[in-house]
């Protein structure tokens, strides 16, 4: 019986020791005397957190690793239960940071769904056929000028020659390649002004330009000269998404090279002459020549193949009689000159409106 009692006491004492050791790892015995279980636990905690840390950005991962390393360095003074709480807190913070990053990314609107004009990679708009809308269009906005030098227009396909126009552009000839359905219309768009707006990282930016050229690019919409391109693109030159509308040139700075005039093409004579309007208020829709007595009236035809010129009747060129030359613009307004017929036969004559107004 005595042996049985001693054995019973020994078994109870052993169970008590085992129970105490399993109840908590915060015992000074495990912290101070045997650090290896703590090292194992720290590595386990770190490996459990690894899937979380690998799914967040590098900065968050570095913070988690740094925190784990810091916890291991301080393990002599920190219990394993505290480390578990700390590790959980880091994981929670990392998950929160990850959630905020995803939320921030998903809240950014796609370019085409935003109406504030804000975009990313704005200079890399995908080339596509321009789309015609009422009184304008939308599609690619590009540049063929220098955004640093900001040269003035050399007249382009509109045959204006050297100008002082700094805000100028080319307009598209086609809608689909080769169909000639764009607003260029054989040069009829020459001299008109277009209000252009394009999407940029700062939102819509706008500029008004005079059409002096036609686009060479099959997917072109509006191809800006240097100064207007700089206003919209800065130094980040490329293909932008834009929209444009035809407007009057009156009162718009930068689109005027001189006063409005009728210019006679070189090679003109009393047997042949073609003319154009330079620095018009808008694109020219019609030019008429009428005798002051009302007996003569001619509606000029645009020259096919020599864009932006109109043919003067030979009967007018051979006389010094005065005529009213009436220019009607797209906007419906008119300008009117009073000119001798023979003046329209003088090569490179530049007949200013202010000098030939009807009295």
Strand (E) or helix (H) holding 288:
strand 284-291
- Is residue 4, in this structure, part of any structural domain at all? no
- Is residue 30, in this structure, part of any structural domain at all? yes
DSSP for 170-230 reads EE-S-SSTT---STTGGGTTTT-EEEEEE-BTTS-EEEEEEEEEE--STT-SEEE-HHHHH
- Is residue 51, in this structure, part of any structural domain at all? yes
pLDDT digits (tens, 9 = 90+) for 191-222: 999 999 999 999 999 999 999 999 977 899 99
- Is residue 113, in this structure, part of any structural domain at all? no
The whole-model pTM stands at 0.68
pLDDT digits (tens, 9 = 90+) for 125-137: 999 999 999 999 9
Last residue of a domain, one of 247, 282, 305: 247
- Is residue 292, in this structure, part of any structural domain at all? yes
CB 299 within 8 A of CB 293: no
- Is residue 75, in this structure, part of any structural domain at all? yes
**Tokens (6 digits) for 267:** 């090679």
CB 145 within 8 A of CB 209: no
What domain range includes position 69?
A: 26-106
pLDDT digits (tens, 9 = 90+) for 105-152: 222 333 343 489 999 999 999 999 999 999 999 999 999 989 998 899
CA dihedral over 170, 174, 175, 177, signed as positive or negative: negative
Q: What are the backbone angles phi and psi of residue 34, rounded to the nearest 5°?
A: -140, 90
Encode 134-187 in three state secondary structure.
CCEEEEEEEECCCCCCCCCCCCHHHCCCCCCCCCEEEECCCCCCCCCCCCCHHH
Last residue of a domain, one of 207, 223, 247: 247
- pLDDT at residue 359, rounded to an integer: 67
């Amino acid at each position: 019986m005595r042996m049985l009692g001693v054995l019973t006491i020994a078994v109870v004492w052993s169970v008590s020791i085992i129970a105490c050791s399993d109840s908590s790892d915060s015992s000074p015995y495990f912290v101070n005397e045997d650090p290896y279980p703590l090292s194992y636990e720290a590595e386990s905690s770190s490996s459990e957190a690894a899937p979380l840390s690998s799914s967040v950005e590098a900065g968050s991962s570095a913070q988690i690793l740094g925190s784990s390393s810091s916890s291991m360095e301080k393990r002599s003074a920190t219990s394993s239960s505290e480390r578990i709480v700390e590790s959980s807190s880091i994981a929670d913070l990392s998950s929160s940071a990850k959630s905020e990053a995803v939320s921030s990314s998903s809240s950014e609107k796609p370019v085409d769904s935003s109406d504030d004009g804000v975009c990313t990679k704005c200079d890399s708009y995908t080339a596509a056929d321009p789309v015609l809308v009422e009184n304008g269009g939308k599609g690619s906005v590009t540049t063929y000028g220098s955004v640093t030098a900001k040269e003035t227009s050399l007249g382009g396909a509109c045959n204006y020659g050297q100008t002082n126009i700094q805000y100028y552009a080319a307009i598209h000839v086609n809608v689909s390649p080769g169909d000639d359905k764009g607003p260029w219309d054989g040069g009829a768009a020459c001299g008109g002004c277009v209000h252009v707006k394009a999407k940029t990282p700062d939102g819509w930016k706008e500029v008004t330009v005079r059409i002096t050229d036609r686009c060479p690019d099959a997917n072109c919409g509006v191809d800006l000269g240097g100064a207007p391109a700089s206003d919209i693109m800065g130094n980040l030159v490329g293909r932008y998404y834009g929209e444009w509308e035809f407007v009057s040139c009156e009162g718009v700075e930068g689109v005027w090279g001189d006063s409005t005039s009728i210019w006679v093409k070189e090679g003109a004579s009393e047997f042949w002459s073609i003319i154009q309007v330079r620095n018009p208020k808008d694109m020219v829709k019609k030019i008429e020549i009428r005798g002051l007595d009302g007996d003569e009236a001619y509606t000029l035809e645009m020259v096919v193949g020599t864009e932006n010129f109109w043919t003067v009747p030979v009967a007018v060129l051979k006389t010094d009689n005065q005529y009213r030359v009436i220019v009607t613009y797209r906007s419906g307004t008119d300008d009117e000159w009073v000119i001798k017929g023979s003046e329209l036969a003088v090569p490179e004559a530049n007949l200013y409106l202010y000098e030939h107004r009807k009295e």
